Amino acid sequence: MVVAAVFFGLMGVFVKLGAEYFSSTELVFWRTLVGVVTLGAAALWRRERFSTPLLRYHVQRGLIGYASLLLYFYAIAHLPLSTAVTLNYTSPMFLALLSVALLRERLPKQALAGLALGFVGVVLLLRPTLSSEAWVAGLLGVGSGLLAGWSYLHVRELGRQGEPEWKVVFYFALISTLGGLLLMLFETWHPVTLENAWLLLGLGATATIAQLAMTRAYKVGRKLLAANLSYLTVVFSTLLGVGLWGDPLSAAGLAAMGLIIVSGMLASRR
């Protein structure tokens, strides 16, 4: 999970650099296309079967996850890297709320306390954003966390049904790639050149490595420990944002990130 966190942070760097040449829709397309090719090739090599009786769940998860990824990449392109990543990592909070609203689950007191802390953190983190021209990106960043939490409900259901991890990741990448092709009918493709091709390769490679490392961590390790370690992505992204772009770090911003991280940890302890 530490490896996954490092590469998810690096993925954010490639998204931010790539936003100079490509739209968010294009970046998501290229990111997921690499996943389709690599996972598909690996499955063919192992002679895996692509058919599944759970296609409906895959489609629902894929569409919701794709929308979340679009919002996330847009937020990365228009906000400090640490802010965008932290807003996306509100997903455990929304997963807990959706579990109550849609599945009628009961949350323990510590999870409820965590949700309260988390929303305080979101308000603190968004305060400077809402008073600037980047307020739309801030709200879309929160939206990416909400949709990611909703997507994880479907991932959890697919896991309960015994669906292999590679199929969950593959179908998500496939549906997202097809969604990108559809949306690009209404946008203009930007040319891939020697100057920017390395950004797309870096984006696809870091995202794929991170996804595989995360999947492996949840498969062989303790899920709660893996979930808590995933928040290292916020730490690595913050360091990368400061080092590469000189992103400012205020005391209020650091406190907000801390509250959201603690909230996610508490919300996961169910």
- Alpha carbon separation from 246 to 141, 149, 159, 233, 240 (Å, rounded): 21, 30, 41, 18, 9
d(CA 163, CA 161): 6
Q: Determine what percent of the chain is predicted with pLDDT higher than 90.
A: 54
The token duo for 162 is: 């015994």
Q: What is the pLDDT of residue 131?
A: 65
Q: What is the pLDDT of residue 173?
A: 92
Q: What is the pLDDT of residue 63?
A: 95
Summarize pLDDT for 26-54 with one digit per residue, the tens: 999 999 998 899 889 999 999 999 999 99
Enter the pTM of the model: 0.91
Tokens 């669906």 found at: 163
Residues in the chain: 270
Question: Where do the structural domains in the chain lie, given as residue ranges?
Answer: 2-268
The DSSP secondary-structure symbol of 187 reads S
Q: What is the pLDDT of residue 130?
A: 66
Q: What is the pLDDT of residue 95?
A: 82
- Alpha carbon separation from 14 to 101, 170, 204 (Å, rounded): 36, 22, 9
In sequence order, the 6+-apart residues with CB closer than 8 A to the CB of 45 are: none
**Regions of the chain where pLDDT drops below 70:** 129-131, 219, 221, 223-224, 269-270
Q: What is the pLDDT of residue 203?
A: 95
